[in-house]
A and B are shown apart, each in its own frame.
Chain A
Amino acid sequence: MFPARAHREYPHRYRLEAGQCKKCGKVVFPRRLICPVCGHREFGKVILPDTGKLVSYSVIRVAPSQFTDEAPYAIGIAELTNGVKLMAQVADCDVDNIKVGMDIRIEFRRIQTDGHHGVLSYGYKFVPKWY
């Protein structure tokens, strides 16, 4: 992955920075230049909450090349306590016991090893809240 491409996502992936519309309050993650709800163009910076509930999940058994060593692994969509939804892997759990509605917490994790030089990419994963 080209360094600039990874670098420009760091505010989202490392710090969970989101934009909040200054007019209607809509929180967008990742950031956008125009609010999808009201069309306003000014945003403030907010940090996403790090807890929420899983609204869906799947256990990936046939993985793309950069994740083949990790299969089977789970992915899920969580709705955070402020209503924002995002997709991430569900880690540190028995993949056969994941359930819709499960409480999760967001943690900073290594996501993938990229390219011939093995450049590490970091981001967020969900872990069960009791972990």
Chain B
Amino acid sequence: MRDVAVVGVGLHKWGELWDKSLRDVFVEPALAAIDNAGVDHIDSMVVGCMSGGLFAGQEHLGSLLADYLGQAGIPASRVESACASGGLAFRTAFMEVASGMSDIVLAGGVEKMTDVSGDGATYALATAADQEYEVFNGATFPGLYALMAVAHMHKYGTTRDMLTAVAVKNHNNGSMNPYAQYPFKTTKQEVEESVMVASPLRIMDCSPITDGGAAVILTTVDIAKKLKKPIIKVIGSGHATDSIALHSREDMTTLRATTLAAERAFKMAGKTIKDIEFAEVHDCFTIAEIVVTESLGIFPAGKGGEAALRGETGLDGKFPINTSGGLKSKGHPVGATGIGQIIELVKQLSGVAENGRQLKKTPKIGLAQNMGGSGGSTLVHILEVI
């Protein structure tokens, strides 16, 4: 395998982008990534999108988006793994460069979610769960994570305070992110008085519906050196699956696919969780961040909530989580989320995160965890400055 580096990133503000279509939402950040990398061409591209079909009535995205990016003719594909589609696009592009098939590959993600009603969006998102045995019976995504939350609270004594701490912390971080959909701070009272969606989860425990795109350029370390770019190397990539139906899993207080994907990424990188300085994780709901930090091995099982409450995951904590604001504050355009996480890693590792959210001691190594559905798929990537 060849050594692979990220040499360019592109992001535009996420939110309810009424004036922009699916293709605009993708092409703007993709052009920004190409400009940022300073490359004169791309050999290929991979785009993560969960459901162009249900959200915008548009499939065949590889060709459409390559054309509107001015790249008609190149090999282009769309990959899907529900909310982990962006992470999967990154891994696919990584494998393409590492294998020697292509030298310069764009990995992007996009979701245009506000061209359908709230009901329509709920329906489209629910297709990531088991249609016949969860959704048929009235499950929603907040409902599935609520089932995890209640089980976690029952087994470990996780409390409302701990969920709240995650939301308050992520909004604090996101308030410093100019690309965030909801760049405002929130309070314990606001979170705990917000409307109930699926008990015990309130609206301020949930990530929002978002239009957004993101893109990065991957190439070999050798080409990156010629481009005179700081070398941010992809040292680990792990991918794993699990039953998509929550009730089919042995233990719903942990995320097995996350643990497996992390083990694979650590093995490739020759690192352990102790070597990682910060992480972007998939906080689609506050409980998800707590369970993910446990499943990655950052905290022991059942201790993720206490750690969040003690501030250990804050910007000044011993293991900062979601310095970008996470899905909660930055927004969750499902197909783009995994690429957005990689961009935050690149910014922190380059020491250029905006508005005071840059970690005081510029980190050397970071991890991104992106998952689909209620944890039925997970991608973990580890990036290091060399």
List residues of A whose CB falls within 8 A of some B CB. Answer: 9, 30, 55-65, 67-68, 70, 73, 75-77, 85-89, 100, 111-112, 121, 123, 125
Contact = CB atoms under 8 A, between A and B. Distances in A.
Contact of B147 (A30, A57, A123, A125): A57
Interface stretch (B13-21, B191-199, B344-352): B191-199
B146 A64 contact: no
Interface in B243-272: 245-248, 252
B136 A86 contact: no
Say which size band chain B's interface belongs to.
20 to 34
Contacts of A56: 147-148, 150-151, 154, 252
Nearest to A95: B199
Contacts of A58: 142-143, 146-147, 149-150, 198-201
A87 B140 contact: no
B276 interface: no
A78 to B, nearest CB: 8
B151 to A, nearest CB: 4
A64 B150 contact: no
Given A60-B143, A77-B247, A77-B252, A67 B138 contact: yes
Given A62-B122, A77-B252, 16 more contacts: A57-B147, A58-B199, A59-B199, A60-B138, A61-B196, A61-B197, A61-B199, A62-B197, A63-B140, A64-B138, A65-B122, A75-B143, A77-B147, A85-B247, A86-B247, A112-B138
Contacts of A68: 119
Given A58-B198, A64-B123, A77-B252, A121 B136 contact: yes
Contacts of A88: 137
A100 B150 contact: yes
Majority SS at the chain B contact face: helix
A71 B150 CA distance: 19
Interface string B168-182: 000000000000000
A86 B142 CA distance: 18
Contacts of A112: 136, 138
Interface stretch (B126-134, B301-309, B317-325): B126-134
A116 to B, nearest CB: 15
A58 B137 CA distance: 13
A131 to B, nearest CB: 19
Contact of A73 (B138, B151, B252): B138
Given A77-B252, A87-B245, A64 B132 contact: no
A30 B132 contact: yes
Interface of B: 119, 122-123, 126, 132-140, 142-143, 146-151, 154, 195-201, 245-248, 252
B140 A123 contact: no
Nearest to A88: B137
A87 B246 contact: yes
Highest count of chain B CB atoms <10 Å: which of A67, A88, A89: A88
Contacts of B138: 60, 63-64, 67, 70, 73, 75, 89, 111-112
B54 to A, nearest CB: 13
Contacts of A121: 136
Contacts of A63: 138, 140
Contacts of B136: 111-112, 121, 123
A64 B148 CA distance: 19
A38 to B, nearest CB: 16
A87 B139 contact: yes
Nearest to B119: A65
A63 B118 CA distance: 11
Contacts of B140: 60, 62-64
A76 to B, nearest CB: 8
A13 to B, nearest CB: 8
A106 to B, nearest CB: 12
A125 B139 CA distance: 13
30 contacts: A9-B132, A30-B132, A56-B147, A56-B148, A57-B147, A58-B147, A58-B198, A59-B198, A60-B139, A60-B142, A61-B197, A61-B199, A62-B140, A62-B142, A62-B198, A64-B135, A70-B138, A75-B143, A75-B147, A77-B147, A77-B151, A77-B252, A87-B137, A88-B137, A89-B137, A100-B151, A111-B138, A121-B136, A123-B136, A123-B137
Contacts of B135: 64
Contacts of B143: 58, 60, 75
Contacts of B126: 64
A87 B244 CA distance: 13
A85 B248 CA distance: 7
A3 to B, nearest CB: 15
Contacts of B248: 85
Nearest to B148: A56
